[in-house]
Structure 1
């Protein structure tokens, strides 16, 4: 029972005691008074009704349906229930006495009969006994309340401390402050009652105050837990696309709320309404307008009736980050909006996360979401019972989604037409409805130019109207075309064009949008065309919109080929930097004719259609024809980043720009920027061979620069780096990237390339890189504040480089070697450090599964029994596998096979009573009898509890998971144990469901020979298995000698391997 319910019982009891005490006091007056009590004191109807209500309340309190919350509160709650039952009996006795009183007065008031009735039904002695019990009950009740409050205050103090130290900025900071204040008030009120001296006791009012304070604390705690889960759905770039979509022009799109199929659908219909339109017709602007307009809300409210209305939106963006153009981004955006509007549904649709939050396990409740979990959570919203909720979702840009287009605003592609276009009344084409809007827009754009009305005699009103009509007519509903054309006409007005000139200008512009783009690029002056082509190619190949300073340095590179490598390390003054920014903004606009524009110090395409057009084969050849043959956009970006780092200001702030927390564990603003640059260098190595040497020279320039600033005092550096080789910092970051070609070049040129490392380079190669500055202090006047303000997800980039690891593993065999400088036990060896990181980062764990990192490391000798805290590496892998969402069961099976091939110990018993460092990770050998049985049972329990959690979360059928994980472990154990008895005993005593247990016991027991032999015969005959195919690891085409070939059924191969070994041992 929760403390609020317990105090609710106490409040009911105290309320009864107070009322009964007053009633008894009145009866004493009756016994000792000849006149009786006053009519005001003895309104019988009121007394009787009040006592009946109290009796019912006490009866319900005595038999609660809720379970006890903890053993500590059992005694207090049981005591409260007993006191409630006693008071209920006393209350009923008084009620029965009042029922016997016959009222003959019309006004229902008690006079002389009251004295006689109470004497006959209760008597003086019973009344005295009841009064005595009430006094004793009140004292005992106060003690129970004090105990409950003391326990609750202690628990809440720990909970608030846990919330404060959770290390995550979730929700408003005022929640914890409010809870702390409420807890202080609760503590103050409870301490004000001095029970020991019996100077006072708890009153009903005080009990109610305690209940109210606890309710406030419970509500605040619930808000914090909900905000944590909501925050886990958010991502840095979520609002970016919405924010940059232009606002609708004044008085446009009003037709949406007039009598139309859309307005009818909004207020009365269900299902999907498809908004389509030509490229550039203003679909995204329309969706933003519609989603935010008050009239839309009014129509939807009418549709929802009395139900609670929840709206959510997502705007796909093909030129944005992966999250902005993926299904996961869509699902996270929708759930974020839904939970923010209606947080009460969170415990219902994601019970596992809510349960972990309730026990204070915030790291699990805030863990990254997988697409499967997101999909299941969204589907669960449709199964909420007894909830009056209506949902409306706005989804813009389905044609910008990267994935299978199976499912609302998009271009009129055939796949969307087939899926959504069959119902005429549930679709519209924006370009068919915006002619009037474009006319108003063109009229406003031209009439607001100061030259439009200067010489009325030269341009008549009819000619002006004709020009505007022609713009609206030729636009054919495409707002972007109208925008570009009116901009050109305004330029003509600025040049004092005559009406004839303006008509000629208009007629010279192609009506087709793509031909208009080409026309604009052809109009660029010849001297600007190489820079124009370079800027556009850089924008096309950028992972996300780049800071404007990159384009400043890019232009310098056109003027001086080795500018970035040769430029001095010098930060310009603030005024000079602002002048540079303004200059490059104007130059970009002139050189690209406005097809690139600057928004919030980042350079972006005017519209998605521009990028799509420039990425065609024809335009790619067009742009490349204006550039030198050795131009590489990725190289240019990498060089521009080098110049940016050299000219950045690092002289402000109190935190070092580089902090070192161990071998390869470098953090800070500078490191994040360096890694962003190296990502582009890695992409350059994937392109044509002639640029490989150029890329290598750029990286050499980075090393020289980084070594220089490490040696100088130009950069605030953690003291741990001061005694290192100045080249170490750069080389530690290089091995984290997919720069295997560069490392091969350097090793050939310099065989002692890795000698600068104090510890194994594998430490660095297995440590995730940091690519954002969310956790670091960045000053606004530094160019890094613009360059590093992340548009992508924050924190460490979990992508490792298998090919780089393969090179290192060929040179180093020290995966398990403990570093003499390792003070942190979690960072003792490269393998231990990597497993520790995986246990704390679901993103890294899933990435390692997908890339086959576990398979690679275990193949090269990683120890599955290495100690990670109190557990083995194998146990840590199982914990990460089951305690966090896994993106692919197939890759998980493959990694599990790799671990089992490495022959881990069978147990995962923590070191509470066993010193793992001396007795082995399982607390003994595999045949140590009871100790081994305990170890095996702990493994089985870990596997089965994880399987059950997965089934609950992902709706995975029992046989699909049990066969993949449980049977793999059982067959492995059969191959390791000479006597399978401990395994069978552990199976019987484990939490394995009976159905699965009986099947596995048959495998272990007397029937195991036939069962296994039949499998072996089947494998030998056709190599088939009941398991699904195991997908290949996506690891840069990595191949490991001795492993199963690609697309071969890995489980089949593994079973044959185990069966052969199993029977070989039996025969021997």
Structure 2
């Protein structure tokens, strides 16, 4: 098969832009309104049309042939390639006028206007009919020329032309498979039918082939957009944060029949997996800390379950997905919306890109309204609502030719009211082709909902697993091994193990905390009997144990202050990465201002990581833990860098929800606040310092086989914290922001930052970004000393980017958690632009002066 050539991609991009423009100009192309949900208002409609025109226009510039044209050393291109390049520029010029007209119509319209049935109706507010008809005719003529030029290019390639204007695609082009398939089919038709570019009828036949290419491109983009809206960055973080099951744990779950002395209820799980009676929901419950999440992670895609699942699914293909609710996470990790997005994403990825290789058109079926909006006016790309997701989920599982097995952990960690999710689970498991295993604490709401269904009280089965874990610690932990070596009677050692197992009462978290507390508190003067006495002194209740450990921590004032500060820093930032927390823990909150702009050396990085790990393990008594937010497995405590390409993947959070609830309880919060100075402790100062340290020490990392600088993320957080600090004392952080700008535009950072920002607009300095994001105070101050050309460029950059992004397009850069950045962006300040106009012009005698109060700054 012939490799696809850039001419195919360029022609496809041009024609997509032409075809969409013609639709908007046509009086018979009706705007599709959703059958459910809110009607698309005129303002939103025109904004969406403009954004789609921008997107399609920019796709042209991203084509390999277009990029090749900017290379001064490029080889001579074929006539067909040169013609396509010329036609691409002509198309962009024609549609630029259309974009301007759409935006003008948007500005002139009002919410009282009747809903437009076509795009043409809106354009008649700013254009005459003959202007619309004229543009439509020009675009159609260009389309014919594109078809002809593409046909010539393919004939040249088919004839093995020696011309150099037809290089193959870049190896990393996402559309290569799609284009390759179409190109070979098109060339086969050209060869078989002997189509010639000078034959009008041949070109018309070829044009129909091109229509199929465009349909395929639209379907591919819709598929890409749908997956992008389903996926979220933190989707897998909770699963990664759950520790792996200890060796030989949960073996009893995989027993097909109970062993002598085993439990019939436990072995019933495998029977339930293969059962076809219609009891399709299994509830795993138990005390807090008993190990429910560890078990659920251990079972997810565990091959030891497959034979039982296949007994149920028979010859039907099986789809397996999971979701782990997490109260310590962001909104989507604790919401029903996050649950459905995750289950749909995993299931559909499995169907389309797994062994099934199902037609991606399934997305058009599941999200039919969005597909119609997309083909109508470029819409259907907003965030999913819960109602949309539930409908799509129910449509997906209604396919009885497939069997679905879902694991859903931590229902009790769901934010808000769980009734909707419980109803969803019960409704889904009424189907014969859906099985769900879910877990939660034994709360009354879940007990009532799942009464009479197969279930398992986990803590009733954990004694032997806890015994195995404690025995491992006694035989491998250096301190315990040394103490036990003094005893000649193994009975004492066995009694010590039995005592911990008994005290834990089936709660694995109690066993890990109690054992760790015992190890850290032991000394050379201890013997096994004294260790036993210390174990029996520990409270049996988990919350009481946490209080006991915290009180012990309070015996050292310095340790308590340090740990309290870490608690407050973690609470203020969600779950930060280990390196960032090490920067935030710096008592000197302005240390980043004088720091060099360079990556940390391996020895510097290693020391920071090891120091933080030691602090978390010893001083924090295991209340905080480290996990790697990626699919690779790394022993974080033994090797903090390990196989982690980017150390920022090492995240910090509370070791367990019970610990988080304890630390954030009123009595402990009072102690923590007192130890850190109460309201005088400003976590934003510490995180502002950490964010600038992050920005200054960025290093090149590998991500999906490409090297990137994650410049924007750190830059955005620097700006967010600068705004938060300004919000509190009304002082603009000019010194800090100047240093942020210097770091962002330092050598390699600047080139990588430009790829992070909205494409198509050159950013030259930090003033461009500050004005775009509407940093009013900072821009006021800097405008007085900035060069006129820099002010003019910042104004042009702001206007162009805001026009390109439209309403809401900035969310991709601002994100959900940067609230001050969002508020600042949305605040209009016309007087600021009057001042900038004044400073950007050449001063003359008699020029009117514009005044604006200067804010206080530091």
Q: If the length of structure 2 is used for normalisation, what is the TM-score?
A: 0.58
Higher relative contact order (CA 8 A, sep 6+): 2
Q: Report what 1:636 is aligned to.
A: 686
Does the alignment pair 1:534 with 2:565?
Answer: yes
Q: Report what 2:604 is aligned to.
A: 576
Q: 1:730–1:253: structure 2 CA closer, same or farther, 3 Å change rule?
A: same
Match of 1:404 among 407, 413, 417: 417
Distance 1:329 1:503 in 2: 46
Q: Report what 1:472 is aligned to.
A: 501
Distance 1:674 1:818 in 2: 29
Q: Report what 2:774 is aligned to.
A: 735
Q: Report what 2:273 is aligned to.
A: 266
Q: 1:711–1:321: structure 2 CA closer, same or farther, 3 Å change rule?
A: closer
TM-aligned CA deviation for residue 710 of structure 1: 7.8
TM-aligned CA deviation for residue 308 of structure 1: 3.4
Q: Report what 1:376 is aligned to.
A: 391
- Structure 1: where are the runs of 5+ without partners? 1-149, 159-171, 198-214, 659-667, 687-691, 771-792, 822-1068
Does the alignment pair 1:392 with 2:426?
Answer: no
Q: Report what 2:367 is aligned to.
A: 350
Q: Report what 1:334 is aligned to.
A: 343
Task: Give the secondary structure class of the aligned counterpart of 2:300.
Answer: helix
Alignment of 1:823-902 (within 5 A): none
Contact 2:586 2:686 in 1 (8 A): no
TM-aligned CA deviation for residue 374 of structure 1: 1.0
Does the alignment pair 1:556 with 2:586?
Answer: yes
Does the alignment pair 1:593 with 2:621?
Answer: yes
Does the alignment pair 1:426 with 2:439?
Answer: no
Q: 1:507–1:369: structure 2 CA closer, same or farther, 3 Å change rule?
A: same
Q: Report what 1:53 is aligned to.
A: none
Contact 2:711 2:744 in 1 (8 A): no
Q: Report what 1:703 is aligned to.
A: 737
Match of 2:660 among 597, 611, 620: 611
Q: 1:766–1:473: structure 2 CA closer, same or farther, 3 Å change rule?
A: farther
Alignment of 1:648-1047 (within 5 A): 648=698, 669-682=710-723, 692-693=728-729, 696=731, 699-706=733-740, 708=742, 716=750, 728=767, 731-732=770-771, 735=774, 743=777, 758=792, 795-797=813-815, 804=824, 808-809=828-829, 811=831
Contact 2:720 2:820 in 1 (8 A): no
Q: 1:555–1:729: structure 2 CA closer, same or farther, 3 Å change rule?
A: same
TM-aligned CA deviation for residue 330 of structure 1: 0.6
Distance 1:682 1:470 in 2: 54
Q: 1:710–1:492: structure 2 CA closer, same or farther, 3 Å change rule?
A: closer
Q: 1:569–1:685: structure 2 CA closer, same or farther, 3 Å change rule?
A: same
Contact 1:732 1:765 in 2 (8 A): no
Contact 2:492 2:529 in 1 (8 A): no
Distance 1:702 1:300 in 2: 58
TM-aligned CA deviation for residue 538 of structure 1: 0.4
Task: Point out the more displaced range, 806-815 or 602-611.
Answer: 806-815
Q: Report what 1:955 is aligned to.
A: none
Contact 1:459 1:499 in 2 (8 A): no
Q: Report what 2:10 is aligned to.
A: none
Q: If the length of structure 1 is used for normalisation, what is the TM-score?
A: 0.47
Distance 2:560 2:463 in 1: 35
Does the alignment pair 1:256 with 2:253?
Answer: yes
TM-aligned CA deviation for residue 479 of structure 1: 0.9
Distance 2:367 2:319 in 1: 18
* Higher Cα Rg, which structure: 1
Q: 1:490–1:587: structure 2 CA closer, same or farther, 3 Å change rule?
A: closer
Q: 1:610–1:356: structure 2 CA closer, same or farther, 3 Å change rule?
A: same
TM-aligned CA deviation for residue 769 of structure 1: 14
Task: Point out the more displaced range, 476-485 or 600-609.
Answer: 600-609
Alignment of 1:113-128 (within 5 A): none
Q: Report what 1:877 is aligned to.
A: none
Q: 1:764–1:537: structure 2 CA closer, same or farther, 3 Å change rule?
A: farther
Task: Give the secondary structure class of the aligned counterpart of 1:313.
Answer: strand
Q: Report what 2:577 is aligned to.
A: 547
Task: Give the secondary structure class of the aligned counterpart of 1:273.
Answer: strand
Distance 2:240 2:672 in 1: 31
Task: Give the secondary structure class of the aligned counterpart of 1:292.
Answer: coil
Contact 2:230 2:344 in 1 (8 A): yes
Superimposed CA distance per residue, residues 750-804 of structure 1 (whole angstroms, 9 cap, x where no aligned partner):
997999954898985997899xxxxxxxxxxxxxxxxxxxxxx965537787864
Supply the RMSD in Å over aligned alpha carbons. Answer: 5.1
Distance 1:320 1:726 in 2: 35
Q: 1:340–1:808: structure 2 CA closer, same or farther, 3 Å change rule?
A: closer
TM-aligned CA deviation for residue 242 of structure 1: 1.5
Q: 1:762–1:231: structure 2 CA closer, same or farther, 3 Å change rule?
A: closer
Contact 2:474 2:481 in 1 (8 A): no
Distance 1:810 1:188 in 2: 57
TM-aligned CA deviation for residue 516 of structure 1: 2.6
Q: Report what 2:54 is aligned to.
A: none
Q: Report what 1:620 is aligned to.
A: 669
TM-aligned CA deviation for residue 490 of structure 1: 3.9
Distance 2:677 2:800 in 1: 38
Superimposed CA distance per residue, residues 939-961 of structure 1 (whole angstroms, 9 cap, x where no aligned partner):
xxxxxxxxxxxxxxxxxxxxxxx
Q: 1:295–1:712: structure 2 CA closer, same or farther, 3 Å change rule?
A: closer
- Structure 2: where are the runs of 5+ without partners? 1-146, 156-170, 197-211, 256-263, 353-357, 423-437, 629-649, 805-810, 842-858
Number of residue pairs matched by the alignment: 584
TM-aligned CA deviation for residue 498 of structure 1: 1.1
Q: 1:241–1:182: structure 2 CA closer, same or farther, 3 Å change rule?
A: same
TM-aligned CA deviation for residue 401 of structure 1: 1.8
Q: 1:309–1:768: structure 2 CA closer, same or farther, 3 Å change rule?
A: farther
Q: 1:819–1:811: structure 2 CA closer, same or farther, 3 Å change rule?
A: closer
Superimposed CA distance per residue, residues 577-631 of structure 1 (whole angstroms, 9 cap, x where no aligned partner):
3323322322333331222233343322222322222111111111111112411
Contact 1:310 1:391 in 2 (8 A): yes
TM-aligned CA deviation for residue 283 of structure 1: 0.9
Contact 2:723 2:820 in 1 (8 A): no
TM-aligned CA deviation for residue 678 of structure 1: 3.3
Distance 1:230 1:727 in 2: 33
Q: Report what 1:504 is aligned to.
A: 533
Distance 2:184 2:796 in 1: 54
Contact 2:715 2:744 in 1 (8 A): no
Does the alignment pair 1:436 with 2:464?
Answer: yes
Distance 1:729 1:216 in 2: 39
